[in-house]
Structure 1
Amino acid sequence: MSPVRPTAVGWDCWLLAAIACLTMNEKLLYRVIPPDQSFSHNYAGIFHFQFWRYGEWIDVLVDDRIPTCKNQLVFTKSFRKNEYWSALLEKAYAKLHGSYEALRGGNTLEAMEDFTGGVTEFFELSHAPEQLFCIMKKALERGSLMGCSIDVASLIEMESHMEQGLVRGHAYSIIALEECDQVDQDSRVQLIRLRNPWGWVLWKGPWCTNSKEWSTISIADCNSLKKQTVQESEFWMSFADFKKYFTKMEICNLTPDGLQGEVRSSWSVSVNEGRWVRGSSAGGCRNYPESFWTNPQYRLQLLEEDDDSEEGEKLCSLVVSLMQKGRRMQKNQGPRFLTIGFSIYQVPKEMQGKHQHLQKDFFLYTASKAKCQSYINLREVTERFRLPPGEYVIIPTTFEPHQEGDFILRVFSEKDSLSE
């Protein structure tokens, strides 16, 4: 399949960026686009696609009629004029959400999850954690999808070129990370391999093709890294320059079923579905102490610390994802995304294993152990934490009390955990 590119109508470019990332992983691509269909063999004018939808994979069937204007495709298209898989995928995704109109404005992370069943993390690189290289390395080992971009200050800057050749407001795919010894220096250099989904490379900085930096590593490392850039659209740059020039990064961590058998390097995942009900379980955030305790409560046991925990540290890595359900499909009916978030409390020893609903007094006199950085009116809020082994309770909430909605709460942990 050839790279996809946007047309003049760019209201779902967020979806386009996710499709470009999907093409980087053949197993995931053929999970979304089953390969047993074509325009020739047993052709019946229909195609089917598979998307992850709130905990399960569903099949979406569409015909081969694609919107056009003056004999040109209106939305997504491929470089090859006789290739229509991306336009058909877009049509199926629009059907999933109710209409093409429902795709106006969105988030690349949202589509990445619907293509993989994974859970996504968002990083502002100006405030990236110190262990970011390690986080990304582990993510790639698990088969996770990763993308990055450079913010624009205004629409005028969209797709404009920086001095070093990078493009603002443009989605790049992250392909690999490497660390090499530098010749005649007692140091190592961290490198990152990126791909421009639209098929061309403009990077002119250090570690671009034929730059002097390649002479600072061994010939063996040099040849090995250059052989990896099999696509003309791929290039290397230093990890330091990556953090300097790029502003945002997204990781879509895959669930075991998304990895199709590669469970040995995947996360342990727990999934809980729930609902905020007015007058019952829609208590709002901690600003409302009289009702906060009525929110749904989910127990979590972290059983084993990470393999790479430092001596005496004993911490467990986990990613908590709170997603509200069905809001985009109802977009034309008026409802917008609720403002949502969550808090995590450590359960005292005397309350562990009892599974009772924690009452108001507990939350009045107990501080949270962790929480999302902010409440946000997007489909999903996701945060990464490192907590000691033990028993915790997660409280998913809307910001205001008495707001109704369905949600799904997922917890990804590097080691085994129990959730209920």
Structure 2
Amino acid sequence: MAEVDCRYPVMREESMAQCSGALFEDLDFPCADSSLFSDSTTPIARLQGEITWRRPQEICQSPALFPSNINLAHAKQGLLGDCWFLCASSVLLKNKRLLNKVFPADQPLWGNSRYRGFFRFFFWQQGNWTEVTIDDRLPCFKSTLCFSHCHSPSAFWVALLEKAYAKLHGSYEHLWAGQVAEALVDLTGGVAERWSLGDFGSEEEQRTERDSDRVQKKKLDLNLLSHVKDDCALSCSTHGAPGGLGVMGQHHALTVMEWLNVKTVSGSEVWLLRIRNPWGRCCWGGAWTWSGVGWSSLDPDCAVDLKSRLAEGEFWLDEAEFTSQFDEITVGYPMSEEGHLKSIYTGNFLTHSHQLAGRWVKGYSAGGSRNASSYSSNPKFWLKVCERGEVLISLLQHRKWRNRKNAQKSLEDGKNIKHQHYQAIALHMWKVEKKHFNLSRTLIKPICASTHCHAYEREVVLRRQLDPGYYLLIPSTYQPGAETHFLIRVFSSSSISLSALKSPAPSLPLTADGEWETTSFCGSWVEGRTAGGSRNFLSYWQNPRFSFTVCDEPDVPSGVNVKISLHQSCPDTDLLPIGFHVYKVPRGGSEQMTVKEENLVASCTPHCHTQDVSLACTLPPGSYTIVPSTYQPDCSANFSLSLARRIHRKVVKSQEQLGRMIQEVSHVSVMKK
């Protein structure tokens, strides 16, 4: 079980209320406009000055959390545009374990001597269950609840849950518009996927992988979900104003209560879906309305049974109507009583799970997409699969709250509001033979699996059947330098392990354009001695130096003849900005005395927050010196340096010297096959 994050611990006023008998009043989320509005740019802004706050016992005579009739426990949307959250909350009515996790049982209610006017809730946030405590004063308009509530006027679990979620987000207005998938994850700690019901383009377009911000979603297949149709969370949403559902306008989410494969009197089969509109009223005029023509195709007893299942705000439609009227569906993975995910593809329980947090930092670990030369600097993770099994991998980023006025302007300009809150992210995976491998070679190989394209989503998911072995995971943003925190989660039917990758030893790629002599050295930048910093500082020449010679090889073809790689030996979280310069040593001069700025012939700069920096260049015959450095002086770290020189068949021994702090560790000649 994930650790509880006490972001909203039991407050001093709450403790005082328990002792004095007074009813708790939450000073962190007061009965004021600051709790209702963020910037007053949504339609509820017109309610300013009109809202009062009342406790349930001030709204009705006998308040309760849940009604005796479960059909009246479902949420009914009020004046707040949070249908996405209400659709997700319906999953709690299907899973008592989850309900007790989010809303712990045995909290003192109205009429109980221990009741003090507050309730505790838990929401899953970035890997932990976060506690949120609220008082039970609820926003009302003309003495009735103005936001979400149950169909039963005396049941208050929905209104209390909504208030706790609003406090978590900072205000009620912050709940205006959102994704069902996000709320499902917050309420379950699980995973949700979005599937498209729209146009998918040509087969070639579907096969082609793009590094862009275009979202590619799976196409709905109700047969695929037959393993989990009784216990998965399913919702549907519309982005436009389709014909039969035109009264709903744009951007509305509804809950799929159930779907059945029903036989008609002619012997054929038809999928029927029962849909609940959180507005609490029917908005459908198709073949399966109460007096629609569709019912005549069914056995009368079957038709009566299906009609009897309809509650307020519900209606039936068939698969063809469903796919034509809605733009996408959201599928929430079911969870067992033990808290294990159940695969929506196979019905298998994913009993093994791991998670690790990470961060993209500009100039350090925000390498961008595979189109960028800095891609390899992105955070890297090891996934070890011990036996063949089904593996689900999730990449989830932190939401960034932006000014809603800017978001509104983006909508007016035709931009996606999700761009205001999220980076475009993707996840790529490679199969490797063992932990010790060449990163640059691996990254040019075909990927094993990926989320295909970068998407402005809080979470992207990939799922595969994987064979035993090691897998390299690289999460990335589309734009280099884009910053945010993220969480990698892995769920599997077989034993797995997940760890952050320790960068491999520096290496230079083998080539087929002749013979290369490769030499590797280790050294250190030591504060006050050899950590001189960049050329901006007078102490620069205190940095270690590495001397080498390029010989005149008439049989070597023209082109690149020197490749240099600098690697710093420290974890990703402690990387320094590093780089190096190459200087020509005048003939007959002493390297220690005569190397000057005017002798600079090549550079690997600007300094970068990355494990490795490399340079390939062409140098004429002569003597040279490499000066590796950090950007700031007095930054201590160990490093290693690799030098590859193209040579004739005869291996020419070089005279390398890196000073007192350097020790040669290898000398390898790579021969062309």
TM range (shorter): 0.7 to 0.9
Matches within 5 A, 1:41-56: 41=112, 42-56=114-128
State yes or no: 1:299 paired with 2:369. Answer: no
1:134 is aligned to: 223
Matches within 5 A, 1:79-90: 79-90=151-162
1:313 is aligned to: none
CA contact (8 A) 2:93 2:99 kept: yes
1:191 is aligned to: 272
Pick one of 307, 328, 341 that aligns with 1:248. Answer: 328
Q: What amino acid is aligned across from residue 136 of structure 2 in structure 1? A: D
Matches within 5 A, 1:201-350: 201-209=282-290, 211-217=292-298, 222=303, 225-226=306-307, 229=309, 231-256=311-336, 259=339, 266-268=349-351, 269-299=353-383, 301=385, 303-304=387-388, 316=390, 318-325=391-398, 327-328=400-401, 337-348=421-432
- Which structure shows the bigger proportion of residues in helix conformation? 1
Distance 1:278 1:103 in 2: 30
Q: What amino acid is aligned across from residue 342 of structure 1 in structure 2? A: A
Q: Percent identity?
A: 30
Distance 2:342 2:395 in 1: 25
CA contact (8 A) 1:276 1:406 kept: yes
Q: What amino acid is aligned across from residue 8 of structure 1 in structure 2? A: L
- Cα 1:301–1:106 change in 2 (3 A) is same
Distance 2:384 2:401 in 1: 30
Pick one of 187, 196, 205 that aligns with 1:124. Answer: 196
TM-score (ref. length: structure 1): 0.77
CA contact (8 A) 1:199 1:233 kept: yes
CA contact (8 A) 1:319 1:412 kept: yes
Tell me the SS of whatever aligns to 2:272: strand
Tell me the SS of whatever aligns to 1:140: coil
The C-alpha deviation readout for 1:234-266, integer Å capped at 9, x for no partner, is: 333222221122111111214446858999854
Distance 1:338 1:168 in 2: 26
Tell me the SS of whatever aligns to 1:91: helix
Distance 1:164 1:8 in 2: 20
1:401 Cα offset (Å): 2.9
Q: How many residues align?
A: 390
Q: What amino acid is aligned across from residue 135 of structure 1 in structure 2? A: L
Q: Which runs of 5+ in 1 are unaligned?
A: 306-315
- Cα 1:54–1:60 change in 2 (3 A) is same
Higher-Rg structure is 2
More divergent stretch after superposition (290-299 vs 253-262): 253-262
Distance 1:394 1:146 in 2: 29
CA contact (8 A) 2:378 2:475 kept: no
1:179 Cα offset (Å): 2.0
Identify which of structures 1 and 2 has the higher relative contact order when contacts are C-alpha pairs closer than 8 Å and 6+ apart: 1
1:326 Cα offset (Å): 5.7
1:217 Cα offset (Å): 4.6
Distance 2:141 2:266 in 1: 61
- Cα 1:255–1:336 change in 2 (3 A) is farther
Q: Which runs of 5+ in 2 are unaligned?
A: 1-65, 67-72, 201-216, 408-418, 499-673
2:560 is aligned to: none
Tell me the SS of whatever aligns to 2:160: helix
Pick one of 250, 260, 265 that aligns with 1:178. Answer: 260
Tell me the SS of whatever aligns to 1:137: helix
1:299 Cα offset (Å): 1.7
Over aligned residues, Cα RMSD in angstroms?
A: 3.7
CA contact (8 A) 1:343 1:368 kept: no
1:207 Cα offset (Å): 3.7
1:45 Cα offset (Å): 0.9
- Cα 1:81–1:16 change in 2 (3 A) is same
State yes or no: 1:145 paired with 2:233. Answer: yes
Tell me the SS of whatever aligns to 2:158: helix
TM-score (ref. length: structure 2): 0.51
1:125 Cα offset (Å): 0.5
- Cα 1:213–1:383 change in 2 (3 A) is same
Q: What amino acid is aligned across from residue 350 of structure 2 in structure 1? A: W
1:36 Cα offset (Å): 1.9
Distance 1:30 1:329 in 2: 33
- Cα 1:368–1:240 change in 2 (3 A) is same
Tell me the SS of whatever aligns to 1:395: strand
More divergent stretch after superposition (86-95 vs 63-72): 63-72
CA contact (8 A) 1:275 1:405 kept: yes
Pick one of 496, 500, 521 that aligns with 1:418. Answer: 496
CA contact (8 A) 1:147 1:249 kept: yes
Distance 1:200 1:331 in 2: 30
Distance 1:383 1:262 in 2: 15
Tell me the SS of whatever aligns to 1:133: coil
Pick one of 99, 106, 115 that aligns with 2:178. Answer: 106
1:190 Cα offset (Å): 2.4
Distance 1:193 1:258 in 2: 29
1:409 Cα offset (Å): 1.5
1:192 Cα offset (Å): 2.2
Distance 2:245 2:144 in 1: 34
Q: What amino acid is aligned across from residue 66 of structure 1 in structure 2? A: L
1:394 is aligned to: 473
